[in-house]
Structure 1
Amino acid sequence: MKRQRSIGLSSALAVVLGLSGSLVAAVAVADGPRAPQVRWGTCPKDVVAEATPTELQCATVPVPVDYTDPEGARIDLMISRLASTNPEKRRGTLMLNPGGPGGSGLAQPALLVARGLPADVLDSYDLIGMDTRGIGHSAPVKCGFTLDGPYTANIPPYAADDAAVTKQAKVAEQVAKQCARHDRDGLLRHLTTANTARDMDRIRAALGEEKTSYLGYSYGTALGAAYASMFPERSDRIVLDSNIGDTHLDRDGMRRYALGMEQAFPAFAKWAAARHDSYGLGRTPAQVRRTYFTLAERLDKAPVAGFDGNLLRQFTFGNLFKKMQYPKLAQQWQTLAGSDDAAARLLSQNATAGKASSSIDNPLAVFAAVTCNDIKWPKSVDTYRHGVAKDRERYPLFGAAAANITPCAFWPHAPAEPPVAVNDDGPRNVLLVQNLRDPATPHHGGKMLRQKFTDRSRLLSVDDSGHGAYVLGDNPCALNTTTRYLVEGKMPGKDMLCRAG
């Protein structure tokens, strides 16, 4: 029964920084361009396997654990490179981040190549992937999470009533204590977006670059916004795709997952209704929506092969990220609606095939640490009860999950510094790319960041559904406009809309 809860993990993880004055000054005078200090070599076997057939090089860069003690303890961050092979067109480095926080980025250059990253971009830049501090091959942190434990996803379970919030609060408190017990080397409290941005600047300097360009997705937009704000004159061409709306993920950002699902779900409902003869989920989008609620409530009372209503909601949320995942989602609904235990068990096994029990530990630990360290979260359980009750009505598809209580309410460390304030005093070099219907980072996040980067940014809205527009989507206008900016530096003169198709 417990193991099936992990089905929603990949869906949940695929989702979707401030400075004190003295620390700002210390960072602002960090090392500038110098001779490259990176020694490139072979990547670890797991990275090689994930990147195949593209061949990447890897290296490590040392950084301080605590930037208030720059001569103190250090950790090594692993970075990867897909070098430009066209010296005449190469203009610098393009650092990458896949999101999270908690996502490994070492293989990201190869993954973008596989998705069709334009040749002009590959000529113009050395693509630099990385495992940011605490992740993967960069001093990984752990909290001891397992597939059969009570905490298997970074989004809380759907809370049907106040009692469910109280129950989740007990789990969240134990998670916070568990992370504290496992933090034997004291690294966990230093996992913040601001520190990761500082790490990026150390990497830039180690590569011998005066400036760096950047492409970040989802949470990677918060990291990119922080870097562009902390180091405006060292940021070159910045592309932030699927924007959270700020330099950190806070409770309001988590709650916007519910808004995003409401906006993205109709595309799936329309798709499923057009295939009623194949899946039987409803002849109209409205009927498909009713099927969702009926099935979730039924599974709340009688799970099928361990698949309960919470998992259905998580699984549905995660599979709205890409239109190519619609058939898998429709098949899962069909199986669960038929109460076919054997088929549901087979789908569950396929969803978790190849996952070691420990595979969730590192990403979930990083997600908790960064989100809880970046900003102070409410501690009162009543605050979450009220939020869940409001969002259950306001966003019935997913609101009672996204508003539920997280380990941040009980986190053992107070934020060491305020969140990074968005700095609009710098070059106009931030291109915000945002689908109109994104389940994890709704279009509102792009508009929020556009208002904060008033003079420095332009917003490229894309009439599409899903999470990720540039390269990850299939809109030619979004692809060409963003590529033109990265390669030629041609920022749209004003905010623009890429129409569907």
Structure 2
Amino acid sequence: AAAPPTPAPPRAFAGPCGDRYGDVLPYTDTLGSARDVAAIRAALGAEKINYFGYSYGTYLGAVYAKLHPDRVRRLVLDSVVGPDDVWYDANLNQDLAFNDRHRAFLAWVAEHDAAYGLGTDPERVEAAWYAMRTALAKKPAGGKVGASELEDTYLPGGYYNGYWPYLAEAFAAYAVDDDAGPLVEAYEDFGALDAAGDNGYSVYTAVQCRDASWPRDWDEWRDDSWGLYGKAPFMVWNNTWYNAPCAFWPARSRQPVDVANRELPPALLFQATGDAATPYEGGVAAHRLLRGSGLVVEDGSGNHGITLSGNACLDEHLAAYLADGTVPRGDGGTADAVCPALPDPEPLQSKAASTSSRGSALHGLLGFRG
């Protein structure tokens, strides 16, 4: 593959951001947000808070709990950020995990060859997907879906397998039927949502770049990215460019907060074994650092944000904890309780599935983007 362009785009983003908002950037980080939570609690006159966080929200909750362990009544962390990896290493770990999850999607497509006609061999289906990416780099579908947009479109499938049937139909329409229309529609439903979130991206970048030190030498980014690309080509460079402004960020970075906590009441953690956005090891690490916590694992799942999504086993543990503080206690293994994953979805019965159902499913899910 050809080398990516010089890092002018991230430098061009970081510089003007510092010029316009340099007075607030030193205060835009997770520690500042945790102090905001403390101020809200005090304003409401509440002695203690009940905190329920998904994805990035798990790190915010852990930081708040570190500052104010005596102010926590219940703490639920679902799909847990690895507290030892904030944030550069976390993104490298995501590259590997999202590639694995994308391959799981392609294997699912192969299992349903009768619906999609792409073959029963996962490796051949994978080759067809990358051939589609190569073709789109030369001739974007509908003049708008090139290789980068394709990755943005298929990234949500790494968060939630409920999108797989829609993504598979778009893939098959392009690769088998030579019809780019469904792929453009899928981009508008899934990929363009992230591309349109300028304010959300600005806040994301400001927090991530301030929270922890990032390499300032662009050669280190390039070497790490190329080192992973051969093993995990799905989103390495997409993810690198997404976070690249941190290499040039105008606000000085702080050291990550050490969230290890021996004073906190028992917390309850939920983690899927195949989670791509917050890989499984992060949940295990947080469980170790938060003394007295319980870890509930959804075995065989790769979804992100797993409670209140139809798995009764998970939700029973959640309800018991919220009601009276019950935390499962295991037998000394990594997990204190294990729930089997829900079955993967089936192909759509009709290709006329509504766009509105896709959009409502996506809304609010992608809180921590890789």
Counterpart pick for 2:66 among 217, 229, 232: 229
CA distance in 2, matches of 1:356, 1:375: 24
Deviation per CA, 1:265-302: give whole Å up to 9, x if none.
34423432232222223323333322222222332333
5 Å-filtered alignment, 1:325-336, equals 325-336=163-174
Counterpart pick for 2:319 among 483, 493, 497: 483
Q: Displacement of 1:352 after TM fit?
A: 7.8
CA distance in 1, matches of 2:289, 2:49: 22
Q: How many aligned residue pairs are there?
A: 333
Q: Displacement of 1:478 after TM fit?
A: 1.0
Whichever structure has more helix as a proportion of its residues is 2
Counterpart pick for 2:179 among 340, 359, 371: 340
CA distance in 2, matches of 1:298, 1:386: 26
Work out whether residues 388 and 400 of structure 1, in 8 Å CA contact, stay in contact via their aligned partners in 2.
yes
Deviation per CA, 1:69-123: give whole Å up to 9, x if none.
xxxxxxxxxxxxxxxxxxxxxxxxxxxxxxxxxxxxxxxxxxxxxxxxxxxxxxx
Q: Which residue of 2 aligns with 1:65?
A: none
Q: Which residue of 2 aligns with 1:497?
A: 338
Normalising to structure 2: TM-score of the pair?
0.82
Structure 2 unmatched ranges of 5 or more: 331-335, 343-370
Structure 1 unmatched ranges of 5 or more: 1-159
Q: Alignment partner of 2:269: what SS? A: strand
Q: Displacement of 1:499 after TM fit?
A: 2.0
Aligned residues with identical type, % of pairs: 31
Work out whether residues 194 and 226 of structure 1, in 8 Å CA contact, stay in contact via their aligned partners in 2.
yes
CA distance in 1, matches of 2:222, 2:100: 24
CA distance in 1, matches of 2:215, 2:61: 26
Q: Which residue of 1 aligns with 2:348?
A: none
Whichever structure has more strand as a proportion of its residues is 1
Q: Alignment partner of 1:437: what SS? A: coil
Amino acid at match of 2:137: D
CA distance in 1, matches of 2:10, 2:251: 15
Deviation per CA, 1:25-54: give whole Å up to 9, x if none.
xxxxxxxxxxxxxxxxxxxxxxxxxxxxxx
Q: Alignment partner of 1:394: what SS? A: coil
CA distance in 2, matches of 1:452, 1:349: 41
Deviation per CA, 1:354-382: give whole Å up to 9, x if none.
x799x522101100100011112101111
Counterpart pick for 1:259 among 89, 92, 96: 96
Amino acid at match of 1:477: C
Q: Alignment partner of 1:426: what SS? A: coil
Amino acid at match of 2:295: L
Q: CA RMSD of the aligned region, Å?
A: 2.4
Deviation per CA, 1:224-269: give whole Å up to 9, x if none.
1101111111111111111111188411111222222133234423
CA distance in 2, matches of 1:363, 1:242: 20
Amino acid at match of 2:132: L
Counterpart pick for 1:217 among 54, 57, 60: 54
Q: Displacement of 1:190 after TM fit?
A: 1.2
Q: Which residue of 1 aligns with 2:230?
A: 393
Q: Which residue of 1 aligns with 2:157?
A: 319
Q: Which residue of 1 aligns with 2:31?
A: 194
CA distance in 2, matches of 1:374, 1:352: 27
Counterpart pick for 1:181 among 9, 14, 19: 19
